[in-house]
Homo-oligomer: A and B are copies of this chain.
């Protein structure tokens, strides 16, 4: 059993309206000094295999095909 964490973030330069909304919300709650907030996603994946290299390749494939939109998003795979 291999556990991995996939982190998907918007590429630099891609507008993040959700992050902007959170900035606004935090400002309304009285938090100041916030430079910027950008939101991303994580996926905690468990694979029934013992081969870390194969798992990494398989997860990168999943990212390309489903988990990330590689036009506007970057992804990183970390084996835990």
Residue in B29, B35, B37, B38 whose beta carbon sits within 8 Å of that of A65 in the complex: B29
* Closest CB in chain B relative to A66 CB, distance in Å: 6
**Which residues of chain B come closer than 8 Å to A39, judged between CB atoms?**
41-44
Q: List residues of A whose CB falls within 8 A of some B CB.
A: 1, 7, 9, 19, 22, 25-26, 29, 31, 33-49, 58, 61-62, 65-67
CA distance A49 to B34 in the complex (A): 9
Copies, count:
2
Among B31, B46, B49, contact of A61 (Cβ-Cβ < 8 Å)? B31
Report whether A42 and B40 are in contact in the complex, using a CB–CB cutoff of 8 Å. Answer: yes
**Interchain CB contact (< 8 A) of A1 among B29, B35, B45:** B35
Q: How far is the CA of A50 from the CA of B6 in the complex (A)?
A: 30
List chain B residues, Cβ under 8 A from A19.
43
